[in-house]
Every structure is written in C-alpha cells, then in structure tokens.
Structure 1
Amino acid sequence: MSKKISTIFLSLFLVGIFSISCSNEDKTAPKGIEQYNGNTYVSTETYDVSSAMPNFKTAYLWVSIKDGQVATFPNDNNTTAPDFTGTYFTVTGSGTDYGFSINNNKVVGTLKFSDTSVTLRYTANPDAPAEMLNTDIVCNIKK
C-alpha cells in the first residue's frame, strides 16, 4: 500500500513540475515585434532627405509599430508624427533585434529596441543620403 501511495505522490509531484515548466515557457519565450505595437519613435538628429523628398531638407526620421509591422518616414518636426498610411512593412526577428528587406532588397536594414528607443540602421537605401547608410540612427519613444 505504501508503494502505491509513494507512486501517487511521485506522479503528482512530476505533474506539478511539468505544469510550472510549461507555464513559464510562455513568459520566457522571445516575443515578436508585436510587443512594440502602438509605439512611435522620433530621431534625435535631423537628416537632409531632399534628394528623394524635396520638402524635407531638414527632417526627423520617425518609426511607428502597428499591427506587427513597422513604418519609417521623415517629417519636418519632432513633435507631430507623419501619416504612416501605406508605408508599413514586415520585419523578421524576435526580442529586441529585427531585420527588414523591402522593395526587392533595395531597402535593407536593422532595428534594435530598448525600453526607451529604437536604433535603426540602413545598410541599403538608394533614396537615403550617404550619411544615413551604415549609421546608427537613434529614435526615442514619443509619448
């Protein structure tokens, strides 16, 4: 009889351990870009993007996360976000590190998130000025 009770307690113990292990898995698994949904960021510096967009000789770079996608767009000020409609694209990655390749690999880059900012790096972008390529562009969260 004691062997049967011991077996029952051992089984309950193992079920408890597996339950805790499985419930912690969701909390520790890497999260996708969705964790940043609703966030908008603006660059700390301005850039001359007038070669591609004549109205933006002095522009801040804005980044928006919506519905698990990312958009980047310039604006002439750092207080009002531009209209991102139609500019969202898919990224790959998890946690804080993401990559993107859009327009048949013409625009390629990375995003690295922190609690208060995102660092954007274009490795290819034919419309961007040379000063924006292979440079860390820090964009702080806009509340």
Structure 2
Amino acid sequence: MSLNVYLMPDYLTLLICIELQKRWPTTLVLLITPPPIDEEGRLRNPYVENPMGLPERTNEAAGAYAKACVDVAGECGGPVVDIWTKMQHISDWPRVCLSDGLHLTQSGNKIVFEEVVARLREEGISLETLLVDLPHIAEIDPNDPLKSFS
C-alpha cells in the first residue's frame, strides 16, 4: 500500500494553500465560483460566427470549475461563495442572472455582492471592523501632507 494520501494535483494545491497561509496569515482569501452558463443564451448571443451552432461554453464545464473551486476552498480551509449553485436555485435564472448566457445582469451582480458580503460577515469582516489604511482627508495637513502618512 502506498503512503501517498493525495494525488499530485491535490498535493500541489495543499502546498500552495500552506504557502499562502504562511506568507499572509491574517489575510482572508475568499474564493468565488464561476456563474452558471445558459447555453441557449450563448447561442442567441455568440461572440463570433458559429456555423456549427454549438455553444462556446457549457454549464457542465462551468460546473466542473465551480466544483474544483469549492474543493480547493475545502482543502485550504478557506471560505467560498458558490455562485454557480446559488444562481441555479433562482427561478428563471438564465433570464434573471445572465444578460447573454454568460455575463451577469444587474440582478446577477446583486446576488454576487450579497453573497460575498454575507460570507465576509460570517468570517467576521464588515465595514465596521476593517482597519483604515490611510488617514481621513480631514486629518491631512494641507501644508505638509506627507506628515499625515508616516
């Protein structure tokens, strides 16, 4: 029996996760899956001429990437927002979430925003808890602005 517990791609993923956590231990990396693809919408709105009538992207492929994203977050112990799954639970999601089968509508963008904000809150991050990197404009001395940044 082999002592290798992880397949090489999984092992490489873990090494990357460990290195990122060592370099930036206080940084939260939030992964976001790709959105679903509406293949019929892609056929109606092709980028280029499409004589074969096949979508250049498929929801199945987007789902595989979404699963990989969720799996990597799990391996790394980090948070993830699964937009691919979330959007498909919405009634008439292709019309509501996607303008051309690929790009997000205003509603689609709102869903992503709300999910990201909710996930960040679950991790204890909000506008109220963020550290300020720069001084407030009222605190900057107009005669010696650099002094305010030291």
TM-score bin, normalised by smaller chain: under 0.3
Which has a greater percent of helix? 2
Q: Give TM-score scaled by structure 2 length.
A: 0.23
Which has a greater percent of strand? 1
Q: Give TM-score scaled by structure 1 length.
A: 0.24
Specify which structure has the bigger relative contact order, considering alpha-carbon pairs within 8 angstroms and separated by 6 or more residues. 2
